[in-house]
């Protein structure tokens, strides 16, 4: 049976790679493996997991210790006792007959662990301490001369939903509202958790049963076009190669019922982090956001540099 690849092998880098080399390798891997560029979704997921683990110093240390070698060896020192025939010339640090032990470093971080700030709150950063700690940034605002009151009301409902149902469960998550999209237009909401980013738009539609086939929303045979988030997801992935970026459209019901409208999914169109665009009702958005943002390798990390860039993009 083929030996499981290490995170270093997935990205094609040495165990001594610097953060800059890790970022560069991930950019290349993301371009090659992203499903929307003809890559394989599982390969993209593996590359993203490798990046999210290795770019965070604490997570990387835990990972290095989990496959049978001491950190000193992986940083270029001598082989550690019990390294199972470690071969310094092998990128994984194992010999031809070696084996790797996973899971020896203890439990992985939880979304409810104490928040870790990178750089630390006592260190200089692009944003101040109070801004770093705040969970919600910005609010829906008018666009142009005339503001659409219906849109503002709908976006405010989304902010309330995410604030009350998601942020309370993910204390290290950050919600940034009202961003300029890189290619023009706007991003209603950006939800950052660790090194994962969800772009969220909304629609207000009557109660009933809708069908989503992955590209078109249908009701009684009538086509309803959701917001075109695909290009925005690609653009944001390009601007933030260190993040795993996904797009979500939440369908809100007029009466505030979180379980309405009902959305029926064609096979393969079910919501998930490998989809560029997901369509969900309110209760499923809450569930999917907790799952997507809360199960990354470092869901308790707030990268202040990334947060500053998102806040800087608000209109």
Q: Is residue 84 located within the same domain as residue 126?
A: no
Taking the C-alpha atoms of residue 238 and residue 242, their distance in angstroms, rounded to an integer, is 9
Q: Final residue of a domain: which of 89, 108, 127?
A: 108
Q: Final residue of a domain: which of 108, 128, 147?
A: 108
Q: Is residue 51 located within the same domain as residue 104?
A: yes
Q: Is residue 270 located within the same domain as residue 144?
A: yes
The predicted model scores a pTM of 0.74
Q: Please give the pLDDT value at position 157.
A: 97
Residue 72: closest CA among 3, 107, 81: 81
Q: Is residue 79 located within the same domain as residue 183?
A: no
Respond yes or no on whether the N-terminal peptide bond of residue 261 is cis (omega within 30° of 0).
yes
Taking the C-alpha atoms of residue 298 and residue 293, their distance in angstroms, rounded to an integer, is 9
CATH number at residue 71: 1.10.287.110
Taking the C-alpha atoms of residue 192 and residue 172, their distance in angstroms, rounded to an integer, is 9
Is pLDDT larger for residue 244 or for residue 143?
Answer: 244
The number of distinct structural domains making up the chain is 2
Q: Is residue 120 located within the same domain as residue 36?
A: no
CATH number at residue 219: 3.40.1350.10
Residue 160 token pair: 């309330």
DSSP string, 216-271: -EEETTEEEPPP--HHHHHHHHHH-TTSEEEEEEEEE-TT--TT-SEEEE-TT-S-
Q: Which domain holds residue 38?
A: 1-108
Q: Is residue 179 located within the same domain as residue 308?
A: yes
Of the pLDDT bands very low, low, confident and very high (cuts 50, 70, 90), residue 260 is: very high
Q: Are the C-beta atoms of residues 80 and 118 closer than 8 Å to each other? A: no
Q: Is residue 283 located within the same domain as residue 144?
A: yes
Q: Is residue 147 located within the same domain as residue 193?
A: yes
Average pLDDT in the 4-21 region?
89
Q: Measured on CA atoms in the order 53, 56, 62, 65, is the torsion positive or negative?
A: positive
Residue found by looking up tokens 């797009």 in the block: 247
């Amino acid at each position: 049976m083929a030996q499981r690849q290490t995170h270093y092998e997935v990205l094609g880098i040495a165990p001594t790679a610097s953060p800059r080399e890790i970022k560069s390798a991930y950019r290349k891997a993301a371009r090659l493996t992203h499903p929307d560029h003809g890559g394989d979704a599982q390969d993209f997921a593996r590359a993203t997991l490798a990046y999210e683990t290795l770019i965070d110093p604490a997570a990387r240390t835990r990972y290095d210790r989990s496959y049978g070698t001491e950190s000193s060896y992986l940083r270029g020192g001598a082989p550690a006792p019990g390294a199972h025939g470690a071969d310094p010339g092998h990128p994984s640090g194992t010999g031809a007959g070696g084996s790797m032990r996973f899971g020896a470093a203890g439990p992985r971080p939880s979304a409810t662990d104490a928040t870790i700030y990178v750089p630390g709150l006592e260190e200089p950063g692009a944003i101040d301490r109070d801004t770093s700690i705040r969970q919600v940034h910005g609010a829906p605002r008018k666009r142009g001369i005339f503001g659409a009151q219906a849109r503002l009301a709908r976006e405010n409902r989304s902010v309330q939903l995410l604030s009350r149902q998601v942020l309370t469960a993910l204390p290290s998550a950050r919600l940034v509202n009202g961003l300029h999209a890189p290619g023009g237009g706007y991003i209603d909401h950006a939800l950052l958790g660790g090194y994962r980013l969800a772009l969220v738009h909304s629609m207000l539609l009557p109660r009933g049963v809708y069908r989503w086939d992955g590209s078109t929303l249908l009701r009684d045979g009538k086509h309803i076009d959701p917001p075109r988030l695909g290009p925005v997801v690609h653009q944001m992935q390009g601007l933030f190669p260190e993040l795993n970026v996904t797009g979500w459209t939440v369908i809100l019901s007029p009466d505030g019922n979180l379980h309405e409208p009902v959305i029926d999914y064609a096979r393969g169109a079910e919501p998930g982090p490998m989809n560029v665009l997901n369509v969900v009702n309110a209760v499923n958005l809450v569930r999917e956001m907790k799952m997507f943002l809360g199960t990354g390798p470092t869901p308790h990390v707030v990268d202040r540099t990334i947060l500053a860039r998102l806040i800087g993009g608000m209109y």
